[in-house]
Every structure is written in C-alpha cells, then in structure tokens.
Structure 1
Amino acid sequence: MHDTDGTRHQDGLRIIAAGAVVILHYSDYFKDVPVGRFMVAHTWHFNLFVDLFFVVSGFVIARQYFGRVNDAASVSRFLWRRLARIYPLHLATLAFYVALAGALHFGAARTDNPARYPLSDIPAQLLLLHAFVGERLTFNFPSWSLSAEMFCYLLFPALALLAQRRKEAIVALVIGTALANSLWACAAGTTPWADWINQGGGFRALPAFSLGMACHLFREQIARWPAIPGALAASLLAFILFGSLLPTMTALLAIYVIALLAVQADCASRETLLLKFGFDRWSSLTYSCYMLHIPVATVVITLGSRLLSLSPNERLILAPVAIIVLAVASTLSLRSFETPLRRYLTEAFERRATRPAPAPAISRQESPR
C-alpha cells in the first residue's frame, strides 16, 4: 500500500527552485563583469522554476482542500487562509519599496532604474492584479507570481467542484489552457506564453496549477507508473546545466516532466537521491527566500556597493554576503513575522466565523414578564 500523501520530493524541489531563482536574479546584479555575464547567459531558464512552484501548488492545494470547498463558508475560509499565507510578506516587501520610492522622490536616494517604482502600479500590487495589469516588473517584482497564484486560488473551488463530477475534466483543462495560451501567443504575436509575467502571468500559471491538481486526482495511477532509477536527479541536473540550450517552450515541458517525476516518487513513497541530500528539510523557507531575495539584494548589493564605493569586480564579494543575509532574513521572517501573523489572521477568521448570532430582541409585548 503506497503512502500517496507525502510531498517530500516536491518540497525538496521547491527549495531548489527558489535557490535557482535567487541565482538567476543575483547574476543580473553582476552583469558588468565576465562571470556575471556568463551566469546571466546560462541561467535564463531558471525563471521557469516558477512554473514548478505552480505545479506543486496545484498538487498541495488539491491535497489539502479537495472536497472541502463546497459552500460559501468553506470557500471563504480557503481564500482567507491563502491570503493569510501570502499577503503579509507581500505587503511588507511592497511597503519597503514604496518607502524607497518616496526616498527617491525627495532626493534622499538615487537609482539607475526609476521606472521600477511607478506609483500608478500600487493599486494593482495591493489587489494582487499585477500579473495581469502591471505596467512592467515593478517594486518587489518576483511577487507577480503571487498574483498568478491568487488567480488559480480563486478558480480552485470551481475546478474542485468540476473534478468531483469528472476527474478527467482537469486533464482536459491542462491541455486546453496550454493550447489556448499557445493560440493566443501566435495570434497576438506575443512572446511564448512561458515568458508571460505582468501581462498574462495568471494564464501562464493555470496549466501548471491544473497539472498539479490532476496529479493529485490520479495519484494512485501515477504511483503504479514504472520507475526509472535516478531519473529525477538526472533530469533536474541536466536541466540546471543545459536548460539554457533549449527553446523556451521545450524548457517549460522539461520543468513539467521534472515535476511529474517528483510527484511519482512521492506517490510511490520511493527514496531517491534527492531525499538523501535532505533538501526537503528546508522547504518551509521557500516562500520567505523567494519574496525576500530582491529586497536583500537592494540593500546588500546595490546600496552596499555604493556606500563602500566598490568597483564592479569588488562588488562580487557582496554576492555571498547577500546569500548569507537572505538565509538569516528568511528564517527570521518565517519564525517571527509570517507564522505568527498567519496564525493570528486564521484564528481571527475562525472566531468571527464561529461567533454565535445575536439573539433577536424581545419587544415589550413579547416580554415574558
């Protein structure tokens, strides 16, 4: 009998994916030196690890909430819990950059990219709409994926209801949304949909999120797939090293395959090389690391290099410093900010939801005395 509820391989992949995104974005800070240019050229495909987040999210959300969001109260509880998880840190990092934008406006700071801080983009950021109507990548720009995730969360109750009637409909949704994205990209002449971020990022996320849902719904069948020893670790390593040689959509397909291999290993309760390295032990830091790595880079790399008047080559020493600061900041954020605030918001919702209705007032005529 297989334990189809574990997610250790997916958890391990999440923290690896977060680390890859950090490497991609931090490389861009050093593109003025040869090693930075080399890294930028050979890590562009790391941006597709965000799509792996979407697959894992679909699996985990289906695992936790499938069959539990079937009325208005349960849907409200689900959406509130998701907001309590993602919104506080998003709001905190947005506030950091809005404060920085204020400092730029009053001349207390300077930047080489003032277009990154448009005040007109704040409403979309606050409403988590910036994967659709964002002007460009602004403020804490990795947060576009939160907007895309929220789009999937809003659709999840309807998708779960559909899946309860016919599981195969979710597989059709994976294929249908991927085809619709491809047709739109061709008709509108956009970039490949795997590159959609602030203009259509939610539609980019939907096939991956639906794939994760489908994997949960068919987990017992997936557990019986024939296993290829070492396939997960080998495919992940090959993607990291050589993914930059692939066309964008082929690289996205590779990410989906890696996610499926991780799901298969979890569903079959197999031990793989990925688990032996213990990456899953750090998975709880994934979101903190993802959301904080750009603010940390702003402070440590950008401001630090200016304060210390470092040359482009000297700035390289700030890369390991930023990674250490990020590890510490992520741990503190998770323990001292995100978790307590999430618990508070969840408990506040539950108290309000379970509060007894006030007794109807008794008129003088109805008084028992």
Structure 2
Amino acid sequence: MKGMLPGLDVLRFLLACYLVVFHTLVTYPEARTMPLADLFKFGGCATSIFFILSGFILSHVSVETKTGEIKRVSASKFFINRFSNIYPIHIITLVLSIALLAVNSHPFDTDLSNLDSAPPIIHTMSGGEMAVNAVLQILLLQAWNPFYLSFNIPSWSLSTLFFFYLLFPALAPRLLSMRRKSMMLLAMWAASLLPPLIVVAGGWYGVWTIGMLHTNPLIRLPEFLAGILAYGIFAANAERITRIITRYQWIIFGCLGALFIGATFLFTAGLRSWEVLLHNGALLPAQVAVIFVGASVMQTASPRVTAWTRRLGNASLSIFALQYPIFIAFLKVQKLLRMPNSLLSCVHQPHLCSQAASQVQVHFSAYPVYLVVVLVASVLFQERIVVPVRTALRRVLRRRWDTARPAPLSVPSVAETP
C-alpha cells in the first residue's frame, strides 16, 4: 500500500474551489471592481495544475513495480476504476443541467470559445446542434468540439481527463521507466508551448483556434504526461525534495506566490499573446513545483486530519461538475425570492413570472451562501451518491469482464501426457 499524500488532497480541493470562484464571480458586476478580484481570473492556470496533478496522483496509486524496475498498470482494473469514478459524476450533473436548461428562457444559447479577457460571444444552437452535443456529452467527447461547450460547461475537463485515462496504462509505465525523465519533462514543456506559439505567431485568435487550445485533449495531453514524469522524478528523489522544501518553504511559497501574482497581472492586463502563452504551457515548471510542494507537506499529519483531507480531495471532481448546475439554480432561486410577483402566481402565470425574474438583479451579498452550498453539497454528493453508484458499477463491470475474458488454456501434466 503506497503512502498517503494529504497535501495533494488539499491541493485538489483548493484548485476546485478556485475554479468555482473563477467561473461564477464574474456574474456579479460589483465583484469585478473588488480589490484582488483579478487574482480569480486565471482559471487556465488552475486547470493546468489539475491535469498535471492527475498524472502525478494516478502514477502514485496505479503503477505497480514488478521484478525490480519493470513498471506495469493493470489496464482492466484501471479502466473500470476510472470510468466508474468519473462517469456517474458526469451523467448525473448533465441531467441536472438539462433540467435547468428546460426552464431557461433561452435554452439553446451558449458561449462560443473565446479569450478569457474578451467579452462572451453568444451563439444560439439549432436543434441539430443540440442533438449532436447531447450525444457528445453522453459519450464524454465534448472537449473535442472547439467551437463551444454546451449543457454543463465545466464538464469539458472530465471529457479531457477521460481521454487521458484511455492512454495512461500504455504510456505511464514507459515514461516512468525512462532514465532521463527530466529531459523528457522539458520536452513536454516544449510540446505544451508549441501550439500557443504557433497561434501567437500567426495572430490567430478566432473561435476555432482558441477552442482548440483551451479544451482539445491532444493539445492538453503534454500537461498530463508531465505529471507522470514529475511523479517519477519525485518518487526517485522524495527524501531530498521534501528536505529542500521543508528547509526553504517560506522562500518557495513567496517565490511561487509572486510568480502567480505577476502572471495574473500579465494574463489580465497584458497583450493577447501573453494570455495565450500563460494559459497553455508557459508556467508548466512552476506548476510542477506547486505539486512537489503539495506532495512534500503534511506528511506527518494526524490520521484524523488525513481522513478529512481525503474527503475534501475526493470531492474535487464533484465540486467541479456540480458548480454550474448549482449556481444556475441558486441564481434562479434568488430571482424568484426577490421578484414582485407571489410564488403562487407563478403556478398559474409562469410566463409572467419568468419575465419578471429576468428583470431582477442578483446581489453579491448572497454569494458566500452559494460557496458554502456548493462545497457541502459536493461532499455529500460524492459520499452519498457517487460512491454507492460507483461501487455498484464496478461490481457489474468486473463481473462482465470476468465472464467475457477467455479461460486460460490448461497445460497437461506429465501423467496425462500419452
């Protein structure tokens, strides 16, 4: 049994919380002028750390060492575990999002892919587009659509992660068996930077190119592979890395914090070229350093603290998937409670209530309530719904796999040989 890394569970949870604020805070006009509000506009950095962290953690828990240095991953066990973990979260939150769209006044509207600093471009989907995107969502293929993301918009990252999972059993053992992992990590950094450099050199900031950079699983794959290589480096030098981080932790924290603040300033106030580069790859070494710090801290935490960090870390995907439907429902409830019409009249005249609700301005004062609701709901959703469904799904998939797998050929003994 490999050791626990509670610091990485905390990091997963904090990244999920940051992305919740990144996606929802911009809805409130008064929040845009708040001091330090720009620090919550760098969601691309948090997503990249999440992808790198996924490769790191999966290498820690899934790669086995057999007969010395030979690395292997049990593909069937890995696929069943990963699919049963991610798909219930995705499909349940997708149903919630569709139910909320059904009561929306503009259910076919979605945002086209664009730079984070640019105003949103609204696109009204046709019935055919809705049907195609519904199929993509069900099959976890929505991240391959570079133009826009419909239904539960943040779930594109689940689609990208699913693609990473398909490649992990084949690629992880090979990457972890390499002798020069540091050189390969630099190669992954270069691979991450190549697509945005091409975009910047050509000045191609249109919907298709930005959509490809933001969500395309092949373009984001080097980040995931960098996480696998980073784990190999950390595992081989864990004691040394931990000792250095422990000795110079405040200097390291200060440098990483200053780098994040400076990068955020360039991202929000700099040229479009800086935004594209910082969103895709420019900060990869610093992001790996953040994960090394997370893996090094809290190693002596008490069992009680470790149990709580594991609960919060396990809920990170649920936080990310639930944030959007809960936020849409939260805004609707706010508007219903503040509109002049009585709630009873909405039963008889829903169109009038819908029109009145659209005129109500939501207030930022209720936003902390939303944050508490989404965090508590996500932890309960993970533990009370996802875990039981995941357990049942794994049982069914393993039974079917065992049934479909051909029985091993029996070799006759010497006594049976004629």
> How well do the aligned residues superpose, as a CA RMSD in angstroms?
3.9
Q: Which residue of 1 aligns with 2:185?
A: 171
Q: Which residue of 1 aligns with 2:343?
A: none
CA distance 1:96–1:263, shift in 2 (3 Å): same
CA distance 1:121–1:292, shift in 2 (3 Å): same
**How far apart are residue 194 of structure 1 and its match?**
12
CA distance 1:54–1:284, shift in 2 (3 Å): same
Unaligned runs of 5+ in 2: 112-124, 267-273, 340-356, 408-418
Distance in 2, Cα, partners of 1:236 & 1:21: 19
Tell me which of 11, 16, 19 is aligned to 1:18: 16
**How far apart are residue 230 of structure 1 and its match?**
1.7
Indicate conservation of the 8 Å contact 1:80/1:346, yes or no: yes
**How far apart are residue 356 of structure 1 and its match?**
8.7
CA distance 1:194–1:318, shift in 2 (3 Å): farther
2:12 counterpart letter in structure 1: R
Any idea what SS the aligned residue of 2:335 has? helix
CA distance 1:235–1:17, shift in 2 (3 Å): farther
**How far apart are residue 237 of structure 1 and its match?**
4.1
**How far apart are residue 291 of structure 1 and its match?**
1.0
| TM-score of the two chains, using structure 1 as the length reference | 0.78
Distance in 2, Cα, partners of 1:30 & 1:258: 29
Distance in 2, Cα, partners of 1:358 & 1:261: 45
Distance in 2, Cα, partners of 1:307 & 1:143: 29
Q: Which residue of 2 aligns with 1:114?
A: 109
Any idea what SS the aligned residue of 2:54 has? helix
Q: Which residue of 1 aligns with 2:319?
A: 289
Indicate conservation of the 8 Å contact 2:100/2:325, yes or no: no
Tell me which of 5, 8, 26 is aligned to 2:6: 8
CA distance 1:172–1:343, shift in 2 (3 Å): same
1:221 counterpart letter in structure 2: N
CA distance 1:292–1:240, shift in 2 (3 Å): farther
Q: Equivalent residues in 2 for 1:85-124 (5 A)? A: 85-103=85-103, 109-111=104-106, 114-115=109-110, 119=130, 120-124=132-136
Q: Which residue of 2 aligns with 1:125?
A: 137
May I ask how many residue pairs the two structures share in their alignment? Answer: 347
Unaligned runs of 5+ in 1: 104-108, 360-369
**How far apart are residue 133 of structure 1 and its match?**
1.7
Q: Which residue of 2 aligns with 1:106?
A: none
CA distance 1:212–1:199, shift in 2 (3 Å): closer
Larger displacement relative to structure 2 (132-141 or 260-269): 260-269
Indicate conservation of the 8 Å contact 1:293/1:326, yes or no: yes
Indicate conservation of the 8 Å contact 1:55/1:209, yes or no: yes
**How far apart are residue 260 of structure 1 and its match?**
2.0
**How far apart are residue 72 of structure 1 and its match?**
12
CA distance 1:264–1:293, shift in 2 (3 Å): closer
Q: Which residue of 1 aligns with 2:171?
A: 159
Q: Which residue of 1 aligns with 2:291?
A: 262
**How far apart are residue 321 of structure 1 and its match?**
1.9
Q: Which residue of 1 aligns with 2:347?
A: none
Indicate conservation of the 8 Å contact 1:236/1:258, yes or no: no
Q: Which residue of 2 aligns with 1:56?
A: 53
| TM-score of the two chains, using structure 2 as the length reference | 0.70
Q: Could you tell me the percent identity over the aligned residues?
A: 22
Q: Equivalent residues in 2 for 1:1-369 (5 A)? A: 5-31=3-29, 33=30, 35-38=31-34, 41-67=38-64, 74-103=74-103, 109-111=104-106, 114-115=109-110, 119=130, 120-163=132-175, 165-168=177-180, 170-171=184-185, 173-186=187-200, 189-191=203-205, 196=211, 200-219=215-234, 220-221=236-237, 223-225=239-241, 226-227=244-245, 228-235=248-255, 237-238=257-258, 241-246=261-266, 247-248=274-275, 249-250=277-278, 253-254=282-283, 256-264=285-293, 266=295, 280=309, 282-309=312-339, 315-355=363-403
**How far apart are residue 40 of structure 1 and its match?**
5.9
Q: Which residue of 1 aligns with 2:342?
A: none
Any idea what SS the aligned residue of 2:143 has? coil
